[in-house]
Amino acid sequence: MSDYKYLLRFDDICPTMDWNQWNRAVELLDRYGIKPLIGVIPSCADPKLNINPERSDFWQYIKMLQEKGYTVAMHGFEHVYRTKNKGIVGVSKQSEFAGLSYEKQYKMLEEGKKILHENGVDTDIFFAPSHSYDRNTLKALNELGFQWISDGKGLKADYYKGLRLLPCINHAMPKKRLGKYITVVCHANEWTKKDGFDELDVFCKEHQKEIVDFVTFKQQPVGNHIFNFVVEKMVVGYQRYIKKYR
Give, as one character, the DSSP assignment of residue 179. S
Query: Binding of Zn ion at residue 42 (CB under 5 A)?
Result: no
Q: What is the chain's length? A: 246
- Shortest distance, CB of residue 187 to Zn ion, whole angstroms? 7
- What is the contact mask toward Zn ion in residues 130 to 149, using x (rule: CB under 5 A)? --------------------
- Per CB under 5 A, the list member of 9, 12, 197, 231 interacting with Zn ion is 12
Q: Is 21 helix (H, G, I), strand (E, B) or coil?
A: helix
Q: Give the whole-angstrom CA distance, residue 46 versus residue 11.
A: 13
Query: Binding of Zn ion at residue 18 (CB under 5 A)?
Result: no
- Per CB under 5 A, the list member of 7, 8, 11, 96 interacting with Zn ion is 11
- Shortest distance, CB of residue 225 to Zn ion, whole angstroms? 26
- Shortest distance, CB of residue 46 to Zn ion, whole angstroms? 8
Q: Which residues contact 244 (CB under 8 A, 6 or more apart)?
A: none
Q: Give the whole-angstrom CA distance, residue 26 versus residue 23.
A: 5
Using the minimum distance from each CB to Zn ion, give the nearer residue, 129 or 152: 129
Segment (H or E) for 207? helix 196-207
Listed ranges 12-20, 28-36, 135-143, 178-186: which one lies at the site for Zn ion (CB under 5 A) = 12-20
Cβ atoms of residues 10 and 41 within 8 Å: no
- Per CB under 5 A, the list member of 36, 42, 129, 154 interacting with Zn ion is 129
Q: Give the whole-angstrom CA distance, residue 38 versus residue 121.
A: 12
Listed ranges 6-14, 141-149, 167-175, 218-226: which one lies at the site for Zn ion (CB under 5 A) = 6-14
Segment (H or E) for 29? helix 19-32
- Shortest distance, CB of residue 76 to Zn ion, whole angstroms? 7
- Shortest distance, CB of residue 49 to Zn ion, whole angstroms? 8
Using the minimum distance from each CB to Zn ion, give the nearer residue, 12 or 158: 12
- Shortest distance, CB of residue 79 to Zn ion, whole angstroms? 6
Cβ atoms of residues 14 and 75 within 8 Å: no
Chain positions 153 to 192 lying near Zn ion, rule: CB under 5 A, are none
Using the minimum distance from each CB to Zn ion, give the nearer residue, 22 or 228: 22
- Shortest distance, CB of residue 208 to Zn ion, whole angstroms? 26
Q: Which of 199, 127, 46 minimizes the C-alpha distance to 15?
A: 46
Cβ atoms of residues 20 and 52 within 8 Å: yes
Q: E strands, 51-141, where?
A: 71-75, 125-127
Count the Cβ atoms, other than its own, within 10 Å of residue 232.
Answer: 22
Query: Binding of Zn ion at residue 151 (CB under 5 A)?
Result: no
The binding site for Zn ion (CB under 5 A) comprises: 11-12, 129
